[in-house]
Amino acid sequence: MRTRLWVILSVALTGCFCEQPLLRSASAAIDTESLDFGRVFVGGRHRLEVPVVNQGRAQLQVIVDEISPSFRAEPAKLVVEPGDTAHLTFLFEPQRLGEHAGIAKLSGGAELIEIRLDGEGVAKALDVLEELDFGPVFVGDTRTLELTVANAVDLPLSVVAAPGGEDGFAFRVEPASLELPVRESGRLAVTFNPPIRARYEAELVLETCPTCPRIRVRLTGVGAVVLVRANPDAVDFGLVSLGRTRTLPLLLENVGDVPAFLGSADLLEGAGPGFSLGASALPREVPAGEAVALEVSFSPGQARPPQTGEVRVFGLSGEPLFDVPLTGRGGGPDLVVSPGAIDFGVVPAGATATRLAHVSNLGDRDEVDVLSVRIEGPDAGRFSAEPQGSLPADVRLWDLAIEVGFTAPSTGSFAAELIVVSTDSDTPELKVALSAETVVPTPCALEARPEHLRFGLVQTLITYERRAELVNVGATPCLVWDLGIHPTLSQLFSLPNPPQSALLAPGEALEVEVAFRSEYATPSLVEGALVYRGGVEEARTVRLSALASSALLVAVPNPVDFGQAPLGFAPMRSFEVRNRGGAGVVIERLSFSLDSAPEITFFYSPTGGPLGPGQARKFR
C-alpha cells in the first residue's frame, strides 16, 4: 500500500480542487492549483492557512523555494514529523491598487509544485477612526461617543454598521445604516452599556457592499465600580505589653476602576480606651490602584482584659463606607535589658574589663526567645558580647546573662551599642549604650574593708543593703576599676549603683553599696563576691554571704554593748529574739561567727517550743 502526505486547503479558501495530487512524493501530496485572496485594502493583510499532514514514516520537509512580490509564506521551510500536522500560511499584503498575480514554488521530497496566487489591492472606501475607547463607565450606566464616517471615494456609498465580536452585546450603534454622498461624511452614535464589572473589547463592522472588504473599528471600555477596601480588613494587635504602645498601619486601598473620594476615618463610640487613631491624611482623592495609609495604635496601660473597637471610614459627603474591627489585649512578654546602659568607666589601656547584662521577661510568661546579640557602632571592634548559654534562648522564665567585654590598646574614649534581637513583637531589638575611657595606670596599694561582707539571716522578698569600702592605703593615686559581682557565684547579690571606676588619692576611700534579695528561702549559706581591680593589679574580691529565710527574726538590742569591764569580772547582758513573721519558728541553736572574741559566751537552753508570731525569747 502506498503512503501519501495530503496537504489540504481549508474550506474557507477559494481555489481549484483537483482530483489528482499536484505534488507527489513518498509521503506528500498537495491538491490545489491556486489561492484567491480576494479584495484587500492597500497596506492591509489577508492570510490563508493550509494544513499539512505527514502520513509517512519519515520526517517531511516542504520548502517554499520562490514566491512573487506582495505575497509571503510562513514559514519558508516547514518540517512535519511522522503522523503530525503542521500549517503553511500564505499572506497577501498589497502595496498598490489593482490586481496582483504571482506564483509560489514549493518542493517536497523530489517533486516540485507551482501554486497560482491572486488578489486585488483596493482603496479604503471609508475614512474612519481605528479605535473608540470609552474608558471606565459605571456598571449599569451608559456612555455614548460619536464616530464620524467619511466617504473616501468618488461614488455614493450605503454603509451598514453593526457591533461584532465576543463583547459586542455591550455596545450598540445608531443609526444602523448611513447614506453617504460622494466625499461626504456622516455620524454614528456608539453607546457602551456594561452589565458587569469587566474589560470589554469588541468591533464596529462597517460594510459598503456584500463583496467589499469590511472596515472594522475597535471598541474598548471598562465596566467600572467604585471599590475601597481596608487592608487588613480587621486589625488585631495581639498581646501588647502593659505600659507599651503598638502602632500598626491601616491601608485604605482603591481597588476599583475610578478615583475614590474619602472624607474621614473615626473611632466609633464604645471603642476600648486603649485604641487611638493617628493624624489622618483625609479628606483625599485616591486614584484607582493607589492607597492612603492610616495609623492605628493600641496602648493597654495596665489593663489586661481584651479590648475591641471599630474604625469607620466615610465618603466625601459623610456617608459611611465600611467599618474596620479592632482587637487587642494587654499582656504578653515584655523584654528588658538591665542595666539599660553599660559604662565601663576608666579602664587601663590594654586591659580587659567585663560587665554582665541580663535579658529579663517582665511581662506574661508567653514564649519569647532571644535570637542573637551583636555589637554595632563606631568602636564596635573594642567591645564584645558573649551570651552565657546557647541561642536561641527561651527567656520566658529565666534571664539570659550576656558578658560584655571591653579592650582598647590605646588611650581614648570609646562608644558602641549592644543589640539584642528577640521574638518580642513589641520590641524585636533592644539596644544598650556602651561606653569606656582608657588611661595609663600606675601601681598602687588598695585595701577592702571588710574583706567579708555579711548580710546574716534575712527575710525573703526584702532587699537588704550593706556597704564595703575600698581604701587607697598607698602613697600614690590609685585607679579603682572593673567593679562587679562575680559572674560564677550567686547572682542574688547586686550593685544597685555600681561605681564604674574612681581615681583615689592616698588615704581616700570608695564606698560600694551591695544589695541582697532572694525570692525564696535558702537552705544553706549563699556565697558571692564583689570583684574589683586597683591600678595594674589582678582582680581581687570581697567575700559576700547571706542566709534567706521566710521567717522574720530580729534581735533587740542589736548590737549588744558590754561597755568597759574590769579584768576578771564577767558582766552579763541580755537580748531578745523576736518573731515578727507570720509563722512559728523553732530556734534550734545559737552560734558565734568564726571571728568572734572567745571571751564572749551565752547561756541558752532550747526549751519552750516554737516561737510564735509576735513572741520573743530572752538570751544572756
Mean local confidence (pLDDT), 439-457: 90
Q: Measure CA of the first residue to CA of the last residue in the chain; give whole Å.
A: 135
233 plus 213 within the same structural domain: no
pLDDT at 9: 29
347 plus 420 within the same structural domain: yes
Domain limit, last residue, from 303, 330, 357: 330
Residue 445's φ and ψ, nearest 5 degrees, are -115, 120
| Residues 6+ positions from 613 with CB-CB distance below 8 Å | 579, 580, 581, 582, 583, 584
242 plus 309 within the same structural domain: yes
- Does residue 76 carry a pLDDT above 90? no
Is residue 170 helix, strand or coil?
helix
Range of the domain at 397: 335-438
Neighbours of 2 (CB within 10 A): 6
Would 287 be classed as within a structural domain?
Answer: yes
118 plus 23 within the same structural domain: yes
- Does residue 293 carry a pLDDT above 50? yes
Would 604 be classed as within a structural domain?
Answer: yes
Q: Mind listing the pLDDT tens digit for each residue in 170-226?
A: 999 999 999 999 889 999 999 999 999 999 999 999 998 877 778 899 999 999 998
Better pLDDT: 550 or 596: 550
Would 1 be classed as within a structural domain?
Answer: no
20 plus 116 within the same structural domain: yes
Q: Are 259 and 291 in contact (CB under 8 A)?
A: no
450 plus 536 within the same structural domain: yes
- Does residue 607 carry a pLDDT above 60? no
- Does residue 16 carry a pLDDT above 90? no
318 plus 253 within the same structural domain: yes
Mean pLDDT, the chain, whole residue set: 84
| Model pTM above 0.85 | no
Q: Which of 22-31, 273-282, 547-556 has the highest mean pLDDT?
A: 273-282
Q: Are 255 and 230 in contact (CB under 8 A)?
A: no
1: confidence class by pLDDT, cuts 50, 70, 90: very low
pLDDT at 563: 77
In this structure, what DSSP letter does residue 299 have?
A: -
541 plus 457 within the same structural domain: yes
562 plus 477 within the same structural domain: no
Is residue 537 helix, strand or coil?
coil
Better pLDDT: 493 or 1: 493
Query: What is the rounded distance in angstroms from the CA atom of residue 27 to the CA atom of residue 25?
Result: 5
118 plus 19 within the same structural domain: yes
Would 488 be classed as within a structural domain?
Answer: yes
Would 78 be classed as within a structural domain?
Answer: yes
C-alpha cell read off for 295: 495609623
Better pLDDT: 315 or 23: 315
To 5 degrees, how large is the angle CA 227–CA 230–CA 235? 165
316 plus 345 within the same structural domain: no
Would 487 be classed as within a structural domain?
Answer: yes
| Residue owning grid cell 565601663 | 344
Domain limit, last residue, from 58, 93, 122: 122
503 plus 456 within the same structural domain: yes
Domain limit, last residue, from 330, 352, 386: 330
Q: Which of 82-91, 109-118, 566-575 has the highest mean pLDDT?
A: 82-91
Q: How many domains does the chain have?
A: 6
CATH code, domain with 275 = 2.60.40.10
pLDDT at 601: 64
Q: Mind listing the pLDDT tens digit for each residue in 396-425?
A: 878 899 999 999 888 899 999 999 999 887
- Does residue 113 carry a pLDDT above 90? no
Would 410 be classed as within a structural domain?
Answer: yes
8: confidence class by pLDDT, cuts 50, 70, 90: very low
| Residues 6+ positions from 361 with CB-CB distance below 8 Å | 333, 334, 335, 368, 395, 396, 397
Would 427 be classed as within a structural domain?
Answer: yes
Looking at the DSSP bridge assignments, the partners of residue 419 are 374, 431
